[in-house]
Amino acid sequence: MKALVKEQRGTGLSLRDSEKPRPGEGEVMIMVKAAGICGTDVHIWNWDKWSESRIKPPLITGHEFAGIVCETGPGVQHISPGQRVSAEGHIACGVCEFCRTGQAHICRDVEIIGIDRNGCFAEYLTVDARNLWPLHDAIDDHLAATFDPAGNAMHTVMAEPVAGKSVLLTGAGAIGLFAVAIAGSLGAEPLIVIEPNERKRQLALEVGADYTLDPAAPNLAETVLDATEGLGPNILLEMSGNQHAITSGLRLLRNGGTASMLGIPSKEITIDWARDVIFKGITIRAINGRRMFDTWFQTQNFLLKHGELARKIITHTMPIDDYLHAFDLLNRGEAVKTILDVA
């Protein structure tokens, strides 16, 4: 089968012929129709420090997808060939304390598809049947391939009720833009977005932001305070992982506010803990992955009702054969969410 593979340590991926997998006990084989490129795939392409420490080539990358079950392995009962599916990419152990208390998203022994085992940038992949998400007929393959990033956004936004609250969102990348669309549709008001890329600021307005700001704007703090009764926003949604965004987001947050933190800094960061956290009495929530499967139900409802907003975030679709062009556009910040047509 055709697959996009990290063949050895170093930059790039190559499209090559790879052995078709077989579904093991409790697994299904899926024919991949559409696969989304995540920021993580771009990190793996660029072979950054994180990839160096985590990825063991050869590996088929990719974890955001929609496809069709074409074969079931031994012991799989609740799903049959022909079913359209996406899947939670975090394969939790199912037996640790966290898995057994409804917190499989922080499983101690998680394995992630396209990172720790072969992923979806291929004509076929095998996945644990427990991880499947059967797709609603009204959600097409391109939109369905966004369940994973839209789910990260949903998990972050749902950490604290946003209706009627002022929200500051830092980092309007793909996940940040989904979070803008979700928070806006849930009644966040005003919804202020800080993002350096002009095209993404424009998209943020199109999916529901009230104001957008460049982090380099000289009057950034005044503008945010003016829009929030001089007190700062009730809620911070941090979706950049950037040190400056985290520092200024926490500083602008209102006393007693809540910061839901999704962005992953590439190295240790510094926070003025006394001034920006303790004395303000804020709550910080760390967000990892998607809740299994509460977040998936919420994301399905969002995609069914607001699919047209989500579709604006898919800026590019192209055949998997054009992967060089796809990764180039992403590396240059010209594409936001790119979906590869696989079959």
- The DSSP letter of residue 265 is -
Residue 316 annotated as catalytic: no
CA distance 133 to 129: 9
Residue 270 annotated as catalytic: no
Residue partners of 226: CB distance under 8 A and separation at least 6: none
CA distance 37 to 39: 7
Least separation in angstroms between residue 106's CB and Zn ion is: 8
CA distance 180 to 162: 11
- Given the DSSP bridges, would you call strands 2-6 and 59-60 parallel, antiparallel or unpaired? antiparallel
Residue partners of 267: CB distance under 8 A and separation at least 6: none
CA distance 241 to 266: 7
Using CB under 6 A, pick the residue from 200, 201, 254, 291 that binds ligand NAD. 200
Give the CA diameter of the chain: 62
Per rule CB under 6 A, is residue 142 in the interface with ligand NAD?
Answer: no
Using CB under 6 A, pick the residue from 34, 158, 167, 175 that binds ligand NAD. 175
Buried-exposed string 149-169: b where 16+ CB fall within 10 A, e elsewhere = bbbbbbbbbbbbebeebbbbb
Least separation in angstroms between residue 187's CB and Zn ion is: 35
Least separation in angstroms between residue 16's CB and ligand NAD is: 26
Using CB under 6 A, pick the residue from 264, 278, 304, 324 that binds ligand NAD. 264
Closer of 38 and 60 to ligand NAD (Cβ): 38
Within a 10 A sphere around the Cβ of 262, how many other Cβ atoms? Answer: 24
Least separation in angstroms between residue 246's CB and ligand NAD is: 9
Closest CA to 184 of 204, 212, 200: 204
Per rule CB under 6 A, is residue 244 in the interface with ligand NAD?
Answer: yes
Per rule CB under 6 A, is residue 67 in the interface with ligand NAD?
Answer: no
Binding mask 203-232 for ligand NAD (x = CB under 6 A): ------------x-----------------
Residue 73 interface partner, choices Zn ion, ligand NAD, none, CB cut-off 5-8 Å depending on type: none
Residues of the shown chain interacting with ligand NAD in the complex, contacts defined by CB under 6 A: 38-39, 152, 170-176, 194-197, 200, 215, 239-242, 244-245, 262-264, 287-289
Residues of the shown chain interacting with Zn ion in the complex, contacts defined by CB under 5 A: 92-93, 96, 99, 107
**Catalytic amino acids?**
40, 43
